Amino acid sequence: MARLTLLTACLIASFIASVRSQCPATGPAKAGVLENSPVGTLVLNLTGPNPPSDPVSTISSDLTYGCYFHSNTSGIYMAKVFDLEFPTSCSGGNISNPGLPIVTTLNCESFTSLVISITKVDEFDPYFIKPYYSFTVAESDPAGTAIYTFKGQVADRDHSSTEPSYSFAILNESIAANMFTTTYNGGGFTAGVLRIQQALDFDAGPSHRDYTFNLSATDNFGKVATTTIYINVSDVDDLSPRFSQDIYRLSFVENETSQLNVSLKTVPELYATDMDIGINQTIGYTIQSGSVLGGETFLAINSSTGQFLAYQTDKPETRIALATVIVTVQDKNDNDPVVSPDSVTTSIAENSAVGTYVTRLAVQDRD
């Protein structure tokens, strides 16, 4: 059964019905019908002292609303169904402001006014504007983190010009209903904010990585819209790696040179994994202690494979050999000679013979 809204949506027009003495009592008269009243619904019963055969003129052809009514000797009836969600005039145009009552003037001795109210009916279910919504959240996001606000995501043909109030709720009685909420800390039923309610844990298993549930929006009359929510939880690097065993054993024979500087495997084979499964970062192996004897390393590990290398397995103590090394540095002709002194002043007679001694210069090679 259709529910009626508290708001009465009304329209205005002016009609004339000549009903002679079959008018209502002197003074304004009121009538009302539902917007979805079928054709033939009685709007107003015309009564009077004269018999029903008294002629009654049809309602004048008002271009806006005249086509919605017709009259006969007994009353005024619906000739066309109203649709207040998308009201149109008799000429086919849209009505932009159906905000006032229809005022019909009856052609009586007192020109009685008739006010016809068209009452809006909650005919249609609300609906989400999208069939589903998909989100990704990090497992490290704390409780209370807002994922999305659904207010404004619900439409209703009964409220084409206004946004009604809806109560939002998660429908599925499953783990998702415990992990997420639209009423965090007990409030916000009508806010439509989807939030994380409990701590997320990607590494807890497949059932904790993807959530699917239905979200409802209920109007004041109990009509419900639903949509599907998909939430993917992304992994965060919040866990340390873990070895497959608590204890591994590695053995080799002393004086066995074939075991030096080659890969040695433990029993069982050394293996560690990243517990952050979604990230699964590369594991790097190092020896924390116990790989040094006498100040020298006798055991090393490959950081990528986890395999070991052994050194000096027979005598881990350091052995030393001594030798004398003579270092000779050879010269290179890479310096100019130097004349000493830098300058000399002397004099000789102009008629001095060849071979006459003038002065002495000293030249030194720096190489």
Return the CATH number at 169. 2.60.40.60
Domain end among 185, 214, 234: 234
Specify whether 28 is located in the same domain as 98.
yes
CB 365 within 8 A of CB 337: yes
β-bridge partners, 154:
128
Which pLDDT does position 59 carry in this prediction? 52
Rg (CA), the chain: 51
Specify whether 210 is located in the same domain as 261.
no
64 to each of 100, 286, 340, how far by Cα in Å?
Answer: 13, 88, 127
pLDDT at 62 over 60: no
Average pLDDT over residues 48-62: 45
pLDDT band at 240 (very low <50, low <70, confident <90, very high): confident
pLDDT band at 47 (very low <50, low <70, confident <90, very high): low
> In this structure, is residue 360 part of a structural domain?
no
Specify whether 112 is located in the same domain as 160.
no
Domain end among 234, 249, 266: 234
Specify whether 110 is located in the same domain as 142.
no
pLDDT-wise least confident of 145-149, 211-215, 254-258: 254-258
CB 4 within 8 A of CB 120: yes
- 166 burial level (CB within 10 Å; 0-12, 13-18, 19+): buried
Specify whether 135 is located in the same domain as 119.
no
> In this structure, is residue 14 part of a structural domain?
yes
Specify whether 218 is located in the same domain as 253.
no
CA neighbor of 221 nearest in space, from 315, 99, 347, 123: 123
CA–CA separation, 359 and 346 (whole Å): 7
Specify whether 3 is located in the same domain as 118.
yes
CB 208 within 8 A of CB 176: no
> In this structure, is residue 354 part of a structural domain?
no
Which pLDDT does position 148 carry in this prediction? 94
Could you list the residue range(s) of the whole structural domain that residue 327 is in? 238-332
Specify whether 197 is located in the same domain as 139.
yes
Give the model confidence (pLDDT) of 84-102 as tens digits.
777 777 777 666 555 455 5
Q: What is the mean pLDDT of the chain?
A: 72
